[in-house]
Chain A
Amino acid sequence: MGEALTKKIDIFAISTDPIYIGTGGYTIGRVDNTIVRDPITNIPKIPGSSLAGTWRYYMALKLISEIKDKKPDFNSTEYESHGNLKEKFERYKWKNEPEEDGKKWEYWKYNKIARITCAGQDESPNIEINETPSSKTGHCGHCIVCKAFGFSKKDISSQGMLFFSDLHILFFPVYTRFGTKWITSKRILIENGLLENGESKENNEEKAIVLENPSENNKYINLGWLNLPYEVRSINIQTDKLKNLYELSGKDIVIVPDQLLSHIINSNLEVRTSVSIDPITGAAKEGALFTSEAIPRGTIFSGNIRIFKRLNDDTLPEIKLVCEALEDSKHFFETLGIGGMTTRGFGRLKMSSLNYKENENPASGGENGES
């Protein structure tokens, strides 16, 4: 046990499609279908629960597609003759796969009874954990997916090892006279540790800050409908954290006052009007017109995942395995996406690679990123 008990991984993501995570129900807004926002700042976000739920599914998808043909048959007759479940995990071997525990996360020994229903809501929470191999539905309670994201059975429940934070907007793209610029504010930069030390934290309430002058004879930059005066200041923003995600250069960044950020973001969201077509008449259906809003393509998000391994539980996978599992399944966000309307050009997200080197920074709580 040479590794830390907790680990915090920073994640960055860029939306490769507009992202729509609806609030459902009726929220008063400028459109019919509103998206989730942070209640305090009123800035749209991707809730940690959405992230955790989709990631759980993608991890299960990756796992099952890998081990599908190699799972030992737990329900054969010889199975009855062995002792308890733990012994069986030891005895039963992967089919045509050398048994090297910890070689690949997919072949962790407890994955032998994993199934696709380990993702999603547990359909049979009322059975005991030892009966799960023989039941067809619900979480199995043993595999890496159940251990990492948590499960609950009749006799035993376990909190997951993964704690997700919300994904907050870090840079938001707005079209201006000088091309597309990514706006952010000092507060956000400080929260994410992208502002170098020594830069004053105070915020000019009237001017935007650009790092390079986009034009000599202009003093204003238009962010959507807002024409904002700007000043040029050389601030060093450490965008190298985003290197493997998107090459964002300093001249593309505009720092706007904290008070204005939410207004600018909310007035530059992608708003779509959709209508349903009646196939019989070929014209629009009556009363089927609705509007929805979405976070536009090219928005850069930041968040983190904390991983916590409880000491007294030897059935938990190593943190390294969990990290590899997350890394191997994150590419599904680039295809299947997150949120609503994902087969219609919404919801795709590109994640930066998870940096899970042995760094010993304790996970800080304080965010409700429960899985």
Chain B
Amino acid sequence: MHYETILNKTEDDLSYYIHFCKIYVDYKETKIKDTEEDLKKLFPFWKNPNPTDKNFKNYKLKNFPLEYLKYNLEQENKKQINIQNETFNNIAQIQNLKEFTKLLIPYSFAIEAKFKLKSPYFSHDDDEFYLINNPCLKDKAFKVPMIRGSSWKGVLKKSAIDIINENNKDNDSNKTIENLKSYFRIFGVGSENFRELINDKNLDKNKLKLFFLLEGISIKKDDNLEDIFKKYQEQNIQAQKGRAIFYPTFFDSLSLEVINPHDRRTKAGKNPIYYEVVPKETKGKLQIVYIPFDKVMAPNETIKEEAERDLNFLKKCIKKAFENGIGAKTKLGWGKCQDIDFQCFWSNGDECGND
């Protein structure tokens, strides 16, 4: 039998074919084994038929048109979002990192980590009026998929706590103190619990435990966290705003993912749930600027030491966050990133060590 031409629009729009194939086409043969000539007659839409094309070799004949078209549609319609105005990126992200950092106060630094998504990224948008129930987060005015600065801050903070907990096992109290200090400096501490603790000369053990518990920092029974905190307190630390500023990340493509919960009894999926996601392989930029604004009066050596420590700590956090994933559904492995390129500049124009 020969394939019918439904419309002569095949080259413009393959989606008609898809519907046609889904409903009407019924081949009897099982596998594709014909010569090129036959294939051309059979599938006029196949421009350069190749019986041994590894992409289609294993399909059954009756599924072939559909699979072929799907494959091609995917290739053609990688839904690229054309950001209508090229200056859009100018608005939200730093263009020239080095020049920009030079304006800042001494011992500030800026990080730019380019990454590639290893798995889809999804974060729920608050848009009520949308085609599917789970739209991907987009900028309000430009409708470009994005990761918010607040998401980055949250995920890096979580990674920081993980790192602190890992180091806690070593029972090296100095290291823990330094890590805690970096953590508080980078992300800031403004919670009421912390204020109470830091201003209280007679440290309440239970309150301290509660604070660490709420921060997620693990405590072992024989831990000397109390001493650590006492030492910490002696250094005249105040509750303060974090020094790091997290910039949003924007992406340029979208696709669809399906999650299909299975019925416990019949072991069959019933109601597929659609997610609009940023597909894997999409590239993005994470930008962080660090400004030690609270120590502007301190001697340079102090600021320098702190900034270098914080930079190393932040690098570890970024690495960990990329592994753990960002956005929603990270337990399904979504949102993992692969580091492509790491750039970092001090405010005097020097590059930070890239390791």
Contact = CB atoms under 8 A, between A and B. Distances in A.
A154 interface: no
Nearest to B187: A343
A183 B297 CA distance: 45
B349 to A, nearest CB: 16
B7 interface: no
Nearest to A247: B87
Interface stretch (A122-130, A254-262, A267-275): A267-275
Nearest to B242: A343
B206 interface: no
A193 interface: no
B208 to A, nearest CB: 15
Interface in A57-71: 61-62, 64-65, 68-69
Given A175-B143, A180-B143, A273-B126, A345 B105 contact: no
Interface string B267-300: 0000000000000000000000101010011001
Contact of A279 (B91, B215, B246, B289): B215
B140 A345 contact: no
B156 to A, nearest CB: 11
B215 A14 contact: no
B213 A296 contact: no
B216 interface: yes
B246 A297 contact: no
Contacts of B126: 271-273
B85 A62 contact: no
A335 interface: yes
B248 A345 contact: yes
Interface in B87-108: 87-88, 90-92, 100, 103-106
Interface stretch (B147-155, B166-174, B227-235): B147-155
Given A175-B140, A273-B126, A345 B213 contact: no
Contact of B92 (A17, A69, A272): A17
Contacts of B84: 179-180
Q: Which of the listed residues A65, A247, A279 has the most CB atoms from chain B within 10 Å of its own CB? A: A65
Nearest to A62: B105
B176 to A, nearest CB: 18
B1 interface: no
Nearest to B186: A343
B241 interface: yes
A contacts with B: majority SS: mixed
B214 interface: yes
Contacts, number: 108
A297 B297 contact: no
Contact of A296 (B140, B216, B248): B140
B141 interface: yes
A141 interface: no
Interface in A301-358: 331, 334-337, 341-346, 348, 350
Given A61-B105, A62-B105, A279-B215, A298 B141 contact: yes
Contacts of A345: 148-153, 246-248
Contacts of B244: 343
A268 B150 CA distance: 21
A18 interface: yes
Given A173-B142, A296-B140, A343 B188 contact: yes
B214 A115 contact: no
B248 A279 contact: no
Contacts of A336: 245, 291, 293
Contacts of B100: 334
A65 B293 CA distance: 9
A299 B92 CA distance: 12
Contacts of A343: 153, 187-188, 241-242, 244-246
A61 B246 contact: no
A65 B141 contact: no
Nearest to A277: B154
B351 interface: no
B196 interface: no
B216 A16 contact: no
A261 to B, nearest CB: 16
A65 B103 contact: no
Q: Which of the listed residues A175, A337, A344, A348 has the most CB atoms from chain B within 10 Å of its own CB? A: A344
A19 B235 CA distance: 34
Given A16-B92, A175-B142, A297-B140, A115 B297 contact: yes
B139 interface: yes
A348 to B, nearest CB: 8
Nearest to B90: A246
Contacts of A180: 84-85, 141-143
Given A61-B296, A279-B214, A344-B149, A331 B140 contact: no
A297 B296 contact: no
A116 interface: yes
B87 A64 contact: no
A115 B297 CA distance: 8
A283 interface: no
Given A343-B242, A345-B248, A335 B296 contact: no
Interface string B219-241: 00000000000000000000001
Contacts of B215: 279
Interface of A: 14, 16-18, 61-62, 64-65, 68-69, 115-116, 173-175, 179-180, 246-247, 252, 268, 270-273, 279-280, 296-299, 331, 334-337, 341-346, 348, 350
- Top 7 nearest A-B pairs (CB, nearest first) are A345-B149, A173-B141, A65-B105, A344-B150, A279-B216, A296-B140, A270-B140
6 contacts: A62-B105, A279-B213, A331-B104, A342-B241, A344-B148, A345-B248
Given A17-B248, A174-B141, A343-B241, 14 more contacts: A16-B91, A17-B92, A116-B297, A179-B84, A247-B87, A279-B214, A279-B216, A297-B140, A297-B141, A298-B91, A343-B245, A345-B149, A345-B152, A345-B153
